[in-house]
Amino acid sequence: MIKFKTGNLRVPQFQRPVYVVAAGTTDYRKRYPEYKLEELTMMAFKMLLEENDLKLDPMEVKGLINMACYGEFADHFQDQLLCEAKIHDYLGLEPLPNIGVKTGGATGGYTTLAGASMIASGYANCVLVMGWERMDEVDTRTGNFYISTAACKDFETRLSRMYAAYYAPMARRFSHIFKVKEEIRAAIAVKNRLYACSSPFAQNPGKHTVEEVLNGKMICDPLRVLECCVMSVGSACMLLCDEETAYKLSDTPMRLQIAGGTHTLRVADRRNMEVPLLPNEKPGQYDWMEKEYHEPYPGFQSFLASRFAAYMAYRMAGIYEPMEDLDLVELHDAFTISDLQTYGDIGLRPYGKEEDYITSGDAYFGGRCPSNLSGGLLGTMHAVGATGIFQGAECLWQLQNKYDKFHGEEKMWKRFGKEKPKDWKSLQIPKRRRALWISHAGVGSHVTCGILENPEEVKG
Amino acid sequence: MMKKKLAKRPVKKTVKARKPAPKKKPVARPKPARFKIAPKPGVVKFTGVPMRVEKTDPAMVIEWPRTIVHHHTYGLLSPFFEGLKQGVLRATRCSGKDCDQGFWLPPRADCPDCHERMKWVELKNPVIGEIFTFTHVEYPGHGIEISYPYYQIDVRIPGAATTMKGYLVRGEARIGMKVKAAFRTRGSSNTILDLYWEPAE
């Protein structure tokens, strides 16, 4: 049983507000031989400086940066130790300080958290937060083996050398306890891949059906091929500032709150505990889990790290009822099951009612709080170190009312050698108060919960 | 041969050329040696294997193969892996007075709660557990060392604080199924794959 002491549950407090003003990205591809990694990061950096309607010239903006935080999942993939230094030099940012962050699939989120801390503490006024991954130097099976070394090398990796095999048992247990049909997971794959059709950055857009997903090739039962993300190459970045710098650069900066959580790398080692309650939950609310299902929390069905991150981030941002207070969420759908599990962890629904978020229509564009309009990891990208930053970028552009600018202009599609679909549909959300993104590492070992607030709509 | 050639190198002349006598015409500067760092015949040669060019369009892509050996220690968990070879399952248990939550499998040397060194316990054969959840692995990653497809199972063992991941060597997995620990005592792999599970119903 994990027992918290008071210091463990202290809610993080930024010493001064942190803002995100601009973002940039490449498109994402399974293989990207056209460019070296540093050339791709320059592509994203230039988009950040030149295409975000900033009030200063790009080089003047660059002249404000005094810290960089870089996210990269695995040295295995880049085959380049100190890749951060190489990228930093290539962007022409030496001799400014930089740090590298590595927290698996949550690397992007934790890189953002590191950058935010730099601003909040006063160490920096303007921080470049950038992530990348180049997963195409090895074939897919070798890539899967590399990723599986992010499971315990002594007790887990050799058992499958495949990360889907660590999520699949969660999917089975989740369905067993909560009696969730496979169609729900399939609907998530269909939804996110469909939204990717509106994105020029997307790697795997597609108009699929639930039947197609369920009839797809089995990877690790019950997870089918369309329920799993794929190897990806690309880079994304955001620019974080203090309040004064933010308004010097932009009329629409978005305020950032972000918190993290963790859990054991081996799911095997997850011990029982009481559910840490979100602001809208009541003591005793989850007693039924133990009584009816003899299923203590968190078991294999819930991500304590996501719950812990949301527990903190909601209190930082003053969120009481997530479904009412949020207008968009971008979740970590590396697998359909990780998306589904997260609905309960972050309180979009109470634990045990996760599927209702999909069946009610709330999760769809036009619903109460849509999810993964970016196309998510299934449809758009999972160049791992970039992912938690790309999700933040999509949240930023949505709140800034710039979804169409970055996704709908012909030139953006042409830049990446694509044709804008004739039936392209805008996914710009109408209400633009708050957007949340979850950055999540293997089997929920590290998670961040980032929340962007529109200062015009939400008081600080 | 080598010494003769080295002796003929115009080192001294070069030095003289830098300090000419005041009334003499400067001596013509000799041509610089072609290899200043590596003296002849230490011409640096390429000793590797040429990288195969995989493609040139849209950019030059080479193949870069490699073979690497890591020297990995099992550290304080060595008794666990030694135990598998002997057909016994060893776990650790914390003897701290506030820490009795059962034994740890996978084992840990140090208790995460009170930081005391844990003690080894040997589970009595047959070790019977119950499948908590499972997957049928149809697409494993590169280098998989067991034939596939197969069932990867998570096993709950009575008295354990944790859940042990393993694989089923025969039969069809289902949640709640009783399974028995078995060991690769002959032809051991010296890895966790030396522990596997068999149906026990």
Q: What is the pLDDT of residues A188-236, one digit of tens each?
A: 999 999 999 999 999 999 999 999 999 999 999 999 999 999 999 999 9
Question: How far is the CA of A293 from the CAs of A180, A216, A354, A440, B60, in angstroms?
Answer: 14, 31, 16, 27, 58
Report CA torsion sign: B121, B124, B126, B129: negative
Tell me the pLDDT band of B37, cut-offs 50, 70 and 90: low
Q: Do residues A203 and A30 make contact, with C-beta atoms less than 8 angstroms apart? A: yes
Inter-residue contact B177 to B166 (CB < 8 Å): no
| Predicted pLDDT of residue B21 | 55
Q: Give the model's pLDDT for residue B11.
A: 47
Instruction: Check residue A293 and give its pLDDT.
Output: 76
Among chain B residues, the shortest Cα distance to A167 is held by: B135
Q: How far apart are CA A161 and CA B104, in angstroms?
A: 23
DSSP assignment letter at A198: G
HSE at residue B149, side-chain half, CA atoms within 13 A, is: 15
Share above pLDDT 70 across residues of chain A, in percent, rounded to a whole number: 100
| Confidence at residue A290, expressed as pLDDT on a 0 to 100 scale | 83
Which residue do the tokens 């010493």 mark? A15
DSSP-derived secondary structure letter, A429: -
Is there a contact between A134 and A146 (Cβ–Cβ < 8 Å)? Answer: no
Task: Give A253-298 pLDDT, tens digit per residue.
Answer: 999 999 999 999 999 899 888 999 999 999 999 998 888 877 789 9
pLDDT confidence of residue B34: 58
pLDDT over 50 (residue B20): yes
The Cα A144–Cα A148 span in angstroms is 6
Instruction: Grade residue B25 by pLDDT with cuts at 50, 70 and 90.
Output: low
Q: What is the mean pLDDT of chain B?
A: 87
What are A393's two structure tokens? 């970028």
Nearest CB among B142, B165, B175 relative to A155 is that of: B165
Distance set, CA A248 to CA A116, A243, A255 (Å): 18, 9, 14
What's the CA gap between A180 and A217, in Å, rounded?
21
A141 touching B (Cβ < 8 Å): yes
- Of A272, A346, A322, give the one whose Cα is nearest residue A433: A322
Which residue, A105, A151, A154, is CA-closest to A265?
A: A151
Q: Report helix, strand or coil for B100.
A: coil
Q: What local confidence, expressed as pLDDT, does residue B41 receive?
A: 73
Average pLDDT in chain A: 96
Whether chain B has a CB inside 8 Å of the CB on A142: the answer is yes
pLDDT in tens, A117-159: 999 999 999 999 999 999 999 999 999 999 999 999 999 999 9
pLDDT at B23 over 70: no
Q: Which two tokens stand for residue B10?
A: 């115009």
Residues of B whose CB is below 8 A from A170: 133
Question: B135: which chain A residues are within 8 Å (Cβ-Cβ)?
Answer: 165, 168-169, 171-172, 220-223
Q: CB A77: neighbour CB atoms within 10 A?
A: 26
Task: Tell me if residue B153 falls in helix, strand or coil.
Answer: strand
- For residue B2, the model assigns a pLDDT of 42
Contact between chains at B144 and A161 (C-beta distance less than 8 A): yes
DSSP H or E run through A339? helix A336-345
Report residue B33's pLDDT band, with 50, 70 and 90 as the boundaries. low
- CB pair distance less than 8 Å for A153 and B72: yes
- A377 Cα distance to chain centroid: 8
Choose the mutation target among B142, B154, B192 for the interface with A, i.e. most A CBs under 10 Å.
B142
With bands split at pLDDT 50, 70 and 90, how would you rate the model's confidence at B15? very low
DSSP category for residue B104: B
Q: How far is CA A140 from the centre of its chain?
A: 22
Confidence of residue A52 (pLDDT cuts 50, 70, 90): very high
A160 touching chain B per CB within 8 A: yes
pLDDT band, residue A2 (cuts 50/70/90): confident
- With cut-offs at 50, 70 and 90, classify the pLDDT of residue A32: very high
Q: Categorise residue A372: left if φ over 0, alpha if ψ from -120 to 50, beta otherwise.
A: left
Q: What is the mean pLDDT of residues A438-454?
A: 97
What is the Cα B1 distance to its own chain's centre?
A: 48
**Is the predicted pLDDT of residue A250 greater than 60, yes or no?**
yes
Per-residue pLDDT at B28 exceeds 90: no
Contact, A319 vs A434, CB < 8 A?
yes
**47-106 in A: which are within 8 Å (CB) of B?**
79
Do B165 and A142 lie within an 8 Å CB cutoff? Answer: no
Q: What is the pLDDT of residue B6?
A: 47
Give the pLDDT score at A460: 79
Q: What pLDDT does residue B9 have?
A: 52
- A434, two tokens: 């708050």
Q: Is B90 left (phi over 0), alpha (psi -120 to 50) or beta?
A: beta
* Residue A360 forms contact with B (CB below 8 Å): no
Nearest CA to A363 among A351, A348, A379? A348
Distance of CA A347 to the CA centre of its chain: 17
Q: What is the pLDDT of residues A379-404, one digit of tens each?
A: 999 999 999 999 999 999 999 999 99
Q: How confident is the model over A332-358, as pLDDT tens digits?
A: 999 999 999 999 999 999 999 999 999
Residue type, A281: E
Residue to substitute from B133, B162, B168, B194, interface A, most A β-carbons within 10 A: B133
pLDDT at B40 over 80: no
Residue B86's H or E segment, with its range, is helix B78-86
